[in-house]
Every structure is written in structure tokens, then in C-alpha cells.
Amino acid sequence: MLRRKRVIEFYEIPYSEVYKNKTVSLPIALQLIIMNNGSLTQNFNSITGKKIQIHLIKQKTQKNQEIIRQVWIKENLHKLAFAESYWKKNNIQKNNIINNKPIGQSIILNEIDVYKEIKSIHYGYSYNLEKKFKVNTPLWSRKYTIWYNKKPLTIIQEFFSICLSKNSNTNRITN
């Protein structure tokens, strides 16, 4: 599954390098979100203490039978993240991924045993996302693959609002 880049990146960190070098500085809240292999919406819930909602923006099927799903992850009116996922059509149907629920919740409800492999972390600019987040600063994002039965189930890229780091100290990533 090859993707067109929609972000002008000026810094990409291969995930495997983050733990080796420990030279990347991230705000504490972003460390929890970006480095964690668990449920994104549950992590947001832990940080904000509030119910997290998914707002499905678009889900369309490409000619190659690949489905692109775009969602806003929100707490009330605050946009916390934008996520775009890429699925083979039969993966969604076969595994009953629910459109209006978080992917992690669908995986848990359907008792699907998966492995999340974070590929890279990005720090860069996206005019459209900055406009939607109502910020004029670079954004942090991560890209990962969710594996099921040793095959890729989906590829996901998530972009995070800078509001997560406004009240956090910047610390080095540590094990």
C-alpha cells in the first residue's frame, strides 16, 4: 500500500531510532500519545479526563478496492487529532470494523488479536490541518501498521493538535 505524502515534512524520526538515541524532545502528553501502542482514544481519555468522540469525515472506496477512512478525534468541540487509515475492502467486511467507532474499540469488540508496529514519527507542516486545528505551527504525527494474522490489516497516520503540549513540559523520551 503506497501513499501519497500530504504533509511537507522537515523531520522524520524512524521509530526504532527513538529508543536507540534518546535525543528527541517531546512534550510529556505527546510522549504518551505518540510512543504508546495502546488505544489512542483511551489515551486521550486518560489525558483529558473526558469522553472522546470520533467524527467520520469521509470513507471512500478506491478503484483498487482499498478504502480510505478519515476521522477527527475530538473532545467536545476540541479537535485533538486527525487520522487517516487505509484498508483493503475485504479486511473491513471480514473483521466487522465499525465506521462510527474508534478502530481500537472495534478490534476489542470483535476480539481481533492484532499487533501495532509504529513505523515513524513526523514533525512538519500541513497547511490544511493547521487551518483545521486553528494553529500556525508544525504538527506531530505518527504512522503505523496494524497487523492481523501476520498480514497488514491497515496503515494509519495520525496528526496531533499542538494543544496537547501547551501545558506540558518538554522532556527527553526515556524508556
Q: In the structure, what pLDDT confidence band is assigned to residue 155 with cuts at 50, 70 and 90? A: very high
Q: What is the mean pLDDT of residues 38-65?
A: 86
- Residue 125's pLDDT is 85
pTM: 0.80
> Hey, what domains does the chain have and what are their CATH numbers?
10-172 (3.40.1410.10)
Q: What does the alpha-carbon distance between residue 93 and residue 95 come to, in Å, rounded to a whole number?
A: 6
- Cell numbers of 84, please? 487517516
Between 7 and 120, whose confidence is greater?
Answer: 120
Between 166 and 123, whose confidence is greater?
Answer: 123
Q: What is the mean pLDDT of residues 102-124?
A: 84
pLDDT tens per residue, range 166-175: 544 333 333 3
Q: Strands, E, within the chain: which ranges?
A: 8-14, 25-27, 53-61, 66-75, 78-88, 115-125, 139-148, 151-160, 170-172
